[in-house]
Chain A
Amino acid sequence: MANSPLVVPGSAEKPTQDKSKLSATANSSKGATPEVQTSNGTSSGRDLAEQMNEEEKSKYVKGKKLGEGTYANVYLGHLRDDPSKFVAIKKIKIQKEYTEGMAPDAIRELKHLQELSHPNIISLLSVFSSKDQNLNLVLEFLPLGDLEMLIKDVSGIRYGVADIKAWMGMLSRAIWFCHANFVLHRDIKPNNLLISSTGEVKLADFGLARSFSDPYRQMTSNVITRWYRPPELLFGTKHYSGAVDIWSVGLVFAELILRTPYIAGDSEVHQINLICQAIGTPTEENWPGVSQLPEYTVSDPPVPVRQKDHYLATFGTAGHEGVDLLMKMLILDPRKRITAEEALRHGWWAAEPKPTKTKDLPRKAGGGDKMGEDLKRRPGVLDGEEGREKKVARKLDFSGMK
């Protein structure tokens, strides 16, 4: 995908400076070794790359800390030329485990976000390194929090199926775009879905993302936050596909309707048991070959796969078409699960009611500190499992910030 020249209409929200992005070298160096010559012809000792880094860094003014975590600190920032244009600066910390180089989460995030430009994926505006050699990612500032905040605020936020359809449409487009560019996100969950000032949902946190793998090449099965992890990963498969993300999307859909996580296991074994009860027990009949997977274990007796009436009883507010789409996202056998492209072609989008217009979607004020929390979290971890830093971040108050 390094060679995908994708131009997307509607991604014009970025400030114009982002043309300089990561490839500022292309403008000036024509491939020659960049080195600055002083007047007497000797090297100044500060090379061109360093100068360009300084230049990039000076375009932004770092402000308040929005959040602090083990993996990154997040700061509010703004353009030096236009203080009304806010950005979020994610400063990746040097991690003890990875003293020999950059942390893998940082590399993954950088590598994939710089390639993906879509209205429903957070924009990476710039990258620079700071004095202490820390990596700084300049991201688009998304001030209205995340989908989890809206789901949880049962007393304060009311939303209906038209709103769910609009949010699900944006999430489905985001994941379709990732897969069409051969990227697996591998950590989709409500608090990684941030909301822009216009109400647009944006997929963030690519710290666990990777490109589609070649056949025979193993991938780790230890990805995706447990509650959103599909059965094939719980069974330890090393060869999987975009279907793993679709399962997570299905569970976000279910959670939007129920306003509580649908399958919330407190261990991997518990997670499998809950999947068996909620959806059905994976067996050789409904999923040929499943018992060959490295960590296949299910308890007896098997629960038959749930049929549509079962889903209608729980998720009936989504309507027949909505329930049909949900069921196809939660098919146990990943080969039979709906793909992102098929999901976008599903009849639910055209069925009544129409999706709510983005500007009319329910919203919550004061989500700036939440963005800080979301971005600094280590990928793949549930909220509360990193409780200590969380409390620190909670104390920070940005209510005065617009």
Chain B
Amino acid sequence: PVAEKPYEPFGGVDLAPSRYVLQEDYDSEWLANAKKDQRHAAGGFSLHEYYARTMFEAFSGLGVFIEDEMGSKA
């Protein structure tokens, strides 16, 4: 019998980005007020979540060439 695989809490799904490294913090003039706003902070608004999303959106699909991929399927 094959040895049982250890429990994998993430179910084998890996969503770590491969083209960039997410930093703890980013300097941005636009974010300065949000960073010090008590209501954002106390309400739990997460700048980290914001960084994660904007960085993902900036890099996702960078290696995808729609015309090349779709050209053969049309």
Contact = CB atoms under 8 A, between A and B. Distances in A.
Interface stretch (A72-80, A169-177, A374-382): A169-177
Given A3-B60, A3-B61, A118 B13 contact: yes
Nearest to B64: A5
B64 to A, nearest CB: 7
Contacts of A244: 44
Contact of B12 (A3, A10, A212): A10
B39 A215 contact: no
B19 interface: no
A120 B41 CA distance: 31
Interface residues of A, number: 53
Given A182-B56, A215-B34, A215-B45, A173 B40 contact: no
Nearest to B60: A3
Interface of A: 3-6, 8-10, 26-27, 30, 118-120, 169, 172-173, 176-177, 179-180, 182, 211-216, 232, 237-244, 287-290, 292-293, 333-335, 337, 344-346, 349-350, 354-355
28 contacts: A3-B61, A4-B60, A5-B60, A5-B61, A8-B13, A26-B70, A169-B7, A173-B13, A177-B15, A212-B49, A212-B50, A215-B40, A215-B50, A237-B39, A237-B42, A239-B40, A239-B43, A241-B44, A241-B49, A288-B41, A292-B38, A292-B39, A293-B43, A334-B43, A335-B41, A335-B46, A337-B44, A350-B6
Interface of B: 6-7, 9-13, 15, 31, 33-34, 37-47, 49-50, 52-53, 56-57, 60-61, 64, 70, 73-74
